[in-house]
Amino acid sequence: MAEINRSEILYKQFVQNLIGKRNIFFNTANPSGLGYVHKVRYKKKEKVTISTIMPCMKDQKQPFWTRDSSILLGGFFVTIFLIVYIWWPLAEEYLAYVDWNGAWWLYMDWLLLGVFLFMSITIVARANLKTDLLIVFVGICGGLAIESWGTQTNLWHYYTAERPPLWIIPAWPIASLSIDRISRFLNWSLNSAFRTLNSAFKFFYWITFAAFLILMLIFVSPTFDKSYTWLSLALCVLLIVTPTDHRFALLTFIAGAGLGYFLELWGTTRECWTYYTLQTPPLFAVLAHGMAAVAFWRTGLLVKLVIKIP
């Protein structure tokens, strides 16, 4: 009997070494023929996902308004106040057109107010300063680079003749935060259909960005003699041909272009800025907001990767 028990132990060790550290169940109750034949039943290995590692996160709903939402909203209003205070002559010039003794509401810029109201709501939605501060930083740097390129190459100019005007720069991080919320909402809405639409997203990704690149080449062709333009083209090509996530890149492009349309519609129809084509707005300018949003998102991923390096 001792010899049989020893053989059983050796056999179990052999099977465990053969199949690795899996969950196995031995049934050695019944002998069959030559010695003990062990019926081995393998437990199916569970797929490891975020919900299995932290199941509470699957059902946890982050509130719409967080502590960081108050901080972001406060910073948003402080930024607007500082812009109005520092560039008060510009605000005074605009307010001079309003007839405060009559039907003043007819003189209000409801498109501008609507855009800022929408962005105010979106930037406070599930705010998280740990990620939002990076978005703000990338938005400021990216916005300054884009405005410098456009105004220095005369693709567009502002009515103040500044190249670029500093008062327009804060609009970029605010728009970046809003686009981030829109992109995440679209991603969440389509999450259930991701498996079936994966190939479709890749197809529309290449169609969309290839069309944008062609349109960009046509629009910036008068500035091919500028190094800024070639640098911008090289960056766009690099971002397009090295996608990290076709789906989220496409959704970010759509979100950026959607918000960009209303921003460009306001700016060009009010002649705050004017493109060399005199269109209000040009299609490229609208889609360029989508490309800028993708570039900011990819830059944020790169910064996160660099920060993790010891």
pLDDT at 87: 80
Q: Which residue type sits at 204?
A: F
Q: Which stretches of 167-281 are assigned E, i.e. beta strand?
A: 273-275
pLDDT at 229 over 70: yes
Torsion of CA 62, 67, 71, 76, to 10 degrees: 40
Contact 43, 24 (CB under 8 A): yes
Hey, what are 6's tokens? 């020893």
Residue 26 has pLDDT above 70, yes or no: no
pLDDT at position 192: 61
Q: What is the mean pLDDT of residues 144-170?
A: 94
pLDDT at 264: 97
DSSP element (H, E) containing 229:
helix 227-241
Per DSSP, the three-state class of 24 is strand
Confidence of residue 277 (pLDDT cuts 50, 70, 90): very high
Beta pairing partners, 274? 157
* E strand map for the chain: 24-27, 39-42, 156-158, 273-275
Which position has the token pair 């050695």? 28
**How does the average pLDDT of the chain come out, rounded?**
81
Residue type, 139: G
Share of residues in the chain with pLDDT > 90 (%): 51
Structure tokens at 264: 């460009």
Q: What SS3 state is found at 155?
A: coil
CB 157 within 8 A of CB 277: no
Return d(Cα 177, Cα 130) in angstroms, integer.
Answer: 13
Burial, 77: exposed, middle or buried (Cβ in 10 Å; 0-12, 13-18, 19+)? exposed
**Can you give the pLDDT at residue 68?**
82
Mean pLDDT across 82-86:
82
Grade residue 51 by pLDDT with cuts at 50, 70 and 90.
very low
The CA dihedral of 138, 178, 251, 142, to the nearest 10 degrees, is -20
Q: Which residue type sits at 273? A: W
Structure confidence by residue, pLDDT tens digits, 216-228: 999 999 999 999 9
Tell me the C-alpha distance between 264 and 94, whole Å.
19
For residue 76, the model assigns a pLDDT of 83
| Token duo for residue 220 | 């910036």
Q: Which residues 6+ apart lie within 8 Å of 84 measured at CB? A: 91
Whether pLDDT at 36 is above 80: no
Is the pLDDT at 114 greater than 80, yes or no? yes
CA distances from 79 to 74, 86, 169, 259 (A): 9, 10, 11, 20
Q: Is the pLDDT of residue 4 over 80?
A: no
C-alpha to C-alpha distance for 166 and 154, rounded to whole angstroms: 17
pLDDT in tens, 185-210: 998 888 765 666 777 889 999 999 99
- pLDDT at res. 182: 95
How much of the chain exceeds pLDDT 70, in percent? 78
Say if residues 222 and 276 touch (Cβ distance below 8 Å): yes
Q: Over range 233-249, report the average pLDDT.
A: 93
So what's the pLDDT on residue 174? 93
Q: Is pLDDT above 90 for 25?
A: no
Query: Can you read off the two tokens belonging to residue 60?
Result: 């946890």
Predicted local confidence at residue 13, as pLDDT? 60
Q: Which of 91-95, 204-208, 239-243 has the lowest mean pLDDT?
A: 91-95
Q: With CA atoms as reference, report the closest residue to 247 among 202, 303, 193, 302.
A: 202
Q: Tell me the C-alpha to C-alpha distance, in Å, between residue 64 and each of 154, 205, 256.
A: 42, 30, 22
Identify which has the larger pLDDT, 116 or 23. Answer: 116
Distance between alpha carbon 52 and the CA centroid of its chain, in Å? 26
pLDDT at 165: 92
End-to-end CA distance of the chain: give it in Å, rounded: 59
Question: CA-based Rg of the chain, rounded to a whole angstrom?
Answer: 29
Residue 265 identity (one-letter amino acid): L
